């Protein structure tokens, strides 16, 4: 059995993106989302969380401003992380199930130690530093060009068949609807991703290739056997129908 978390970045960025995330969760394979707490649609996204108990919601930290400063101040960076964490709790009335960052800014060596510290303190999985392998190839734009073929149902089915082999993986995605109030270079691609995530062929491929959809809610209940070199993952309790999306 392979376990797959399907996580939408940019939850809260706009009403159109919020609508797309919820549609991908209700009609498609989306199991998780990461919330931008300072974005224009953050309050709406937080309210929507209350209608979707099976959707795990993490913190999508935005520290671009701090990292673009002439000299990165460690204290300011730490305070930004903690302020966004507190804002998440205020908005959602819960703690994040996981943590990642806008444009994967946590990869910056100046930022990573602060992200790791917060992840350890609160027991949250941090993207690329947890038992879930990060899979980022489901993305439809690079080199300034749109590549809808990369985010088609056929492409995702192929990825599931040939490229996602780990015991636990996080498939990153960016579903949404075009929103005139939100200017972004990744727009039509979001709608294409949404169509793919809701395509019945993708769910059929998950079953065919032995994938079990989970969310970050379930990750703490999965046990990696560190005594083996292959790092087999086994559920501590066999998942029931009510436990798995």
Question: What CATH number should be reported for the domain holding residue 42?
Answer: 3.20.20.370
**Tally of structural domains, the chain:** 1
Domain for residue 198, yes or no? yes
The closest of 141, 84, 159, 71 to 115, measured between CA atoms, is 84
Domain for residue 244, yes or no? no
Q: Contact, 214 vs 5, CB < 8 A?
A: yes
Q: Contact, 235 vs 131, CB < 8 A?
A: no
The closest of 110, 106, 86 to 96, measured between CA atoms, is 86
Residue percentage of the chain with pLDDT more than 90: 84
CB atoms within 10 A of CB 179: 20
Domain for residue 187, yes or no? yes
Positions of the chain with pLDDT under 50: 224-245
Find the angle CA(37)-CA(42)-CA(34) to the nearest 5 degrees.
60
Domain for residue 240, yes or no? no
The reported pLDDT for the residue numbered 223 is 54
Residue 114, Cα to own-chain centre: how many angstroms? 20
The reported pLDDT for the residue numbered 35 is 98
The reported pLDDT for the residue numbered 241 is 27
- pLDDT tens sequence across 144-163: 999 999 999 999 999 999 99
Domain for residue 70, yes or no? yes
Domain for residue 146, yes or no? yes
Q: Is 118 exposed, middle or buried (0-12, 13-18, 19+ CB in 10 A)?
A: buried
The reported pLDDT for the residue numbered 70 is 85
Q: Contact, 62 vs 21, CB < 8 A?
A: no
The closest of 68, 69, 66, 88 to 77, measured between CA atoms, is 66
Domain for residue 195, yes or no? yes
Q: State which residues form the domain around 78.
A: 2-235
The closest of 172, 245, 164 to 203, measured between CA atoms, is 245
Element (H, E) at 170: strand 168-173
CA atoms within 13 A on the CB side of 242: 0
Domain for residue 241, yes or no? no
DSSP state, 91?
A: H
The reported pLDDT for the residue numbered 181 is 82
């Amino acid at each position: 059995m392979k376990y797959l978390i399907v996580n939408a970045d940019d939850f809260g960025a706009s009403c159109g993106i919020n609508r797309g995330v919820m549609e991908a969760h209700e009609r498609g394979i989306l199991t998780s989302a990461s919330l931008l707490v300072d974005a224009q649609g953050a309050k709406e996204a937080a309210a929507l969380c209350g209608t979707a108990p099976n959707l795990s919601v993490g913190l999508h930290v935005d520290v671009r401003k701090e990292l673009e400063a002439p000299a990165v101040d460690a204290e300011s960076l730490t305070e930004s992380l903690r302020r966004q964490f507190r804002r998440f709790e205020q908005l959602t009335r819960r703690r994040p199930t996981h943590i990642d960052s806008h444009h994967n800014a946590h990869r910056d060596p100046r930022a990573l130690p602060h992200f790791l510290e917060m992840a350890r303190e609160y027991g949250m999985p941090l993207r690329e530093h947890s038992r879930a392998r990060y899979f980022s190839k489901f993305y439809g734009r690079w080199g300034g060009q749109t590549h809808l073929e990369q985010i088609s149902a056929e492409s995702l089915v192929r990825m599931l068949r040939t490229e996602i082999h780990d015991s636990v993986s996080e498939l990153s995605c960016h579903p949404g609807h075009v929103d005139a109030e939100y200017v972004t270079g990744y727009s039509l691609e979001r709608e294409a991703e949404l169509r793919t995530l809701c395509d019945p062929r993708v769910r059929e491929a998950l079953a065919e290739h032995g994938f079990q959809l989970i969310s970050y809610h379930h990750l703490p209940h999965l046990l990696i056997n560190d005594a083996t070199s292959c790092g087999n993952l086994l559920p501590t309790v066999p998942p029931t129908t009510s436990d798995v999306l």
